[in-house]
């Protein structure tokens, strides 16, 4: 939470411009990211947080993986409740015992990205949606390609389930973690024979 702005007494109007004293200006500290490495059924993942919110989940071979120095300090999961909760819920989901994440997310993106990710976050467990359907929900079916770019830029894959977004015919399309992982994630949510018949 940002501090309340400091109230200064009103000054009498003057005819000459005044230069702010930047040397004594108060600065708001910027929270630094931190990360933990987690071994999972999908391979190693890096989970990133800022303060009490999660900002990233990346595979080792992740498309558009940010540089390592942007993840901040590496911390011990046992000493970090936010990252520990994320790792625990990820393991539960991959084990088939969790269908919904209860975690605080704060992905960084512009308004369009946030709008797309908000729709993706609402796709129910076991469900899918097409890029075109997301574009239509945003009010312009012609935005499907731009929606695809935003989905691909999702920094919280799995947690914000972009694996549930499929092509116009229901076929699997690109996934930042690789098509095999996308198929695995969808299979966790739906029996393999059913999903194979529907998506391939």
Give the other-Cβ count within 10 Å of 147's Cβ: 27
pLDDT at 4 over 50: no
103: tokens are 């975690």
CA nearest 110: which of 145, 155, 144? Answer: 155
3-state secondary structure of 103: coil
Instruction: Note the pTM of the prediction, 2 decimals.
Output: 0.79
**Cα–Cα distance, 195 to 75 (Å, whole number):** 38
The catalytic position among 162, 165, 166, 199 is 162
Q: Tens digits of per-residue pLDDT, 109-162?
A: 999 999 999 999 999 999 999 999 999 999 999 999 999 999 999 999 999 999
123 phi and psi, to 5 degrees?
-65, 125
**Cα–Cα distance, 32 to 15 (Å, whole number):** 43
Instruction: Respond yes or no: is residue 162 known to be catalytic.
Output: yes
């Amino acid at each position: 939470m940002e501090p309340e702005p400091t109230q200064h007494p009103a000054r009498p109007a003057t005819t000459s411009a005044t230069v702010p004293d930047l040397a004594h200006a108060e600065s708001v500290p910027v929270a630094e990211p931190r990360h933990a490495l987690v071994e999972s059924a999908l391979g190693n993942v890096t989970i990133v947080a800022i303060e009490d919110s999660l900002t990233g989940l990346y595979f080792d071979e992740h498309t558009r993986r940010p540089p390592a120095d942007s993840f901040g300090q590496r911390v011990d999961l046992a000493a970090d409740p936010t990252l520990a909760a994320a790792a625990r819920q990820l393991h539960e989901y991959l084990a088939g015992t969790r269908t919904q994440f209860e975690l605080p997310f704060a992905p960084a993106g512009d308004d369009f990205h946030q709008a797309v990710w908000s729709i993706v976050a609402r796709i129910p467990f076991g469900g899918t949606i097409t890029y075109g359907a997301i574009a239509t929900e945003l009010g312009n079916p012609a935005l499907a390609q731009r929606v695809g770019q935003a989905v691909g830029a999702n920094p919280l894959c799995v947690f914000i389930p972009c694996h549930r977004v499929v092509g116009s015919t229901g076929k699997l399309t690109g996934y930042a973690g690789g098509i095999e992982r996308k198929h695995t994630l969808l299979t966790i949510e739906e029996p393999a024979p059913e999903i194979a018949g529907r998506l391939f």
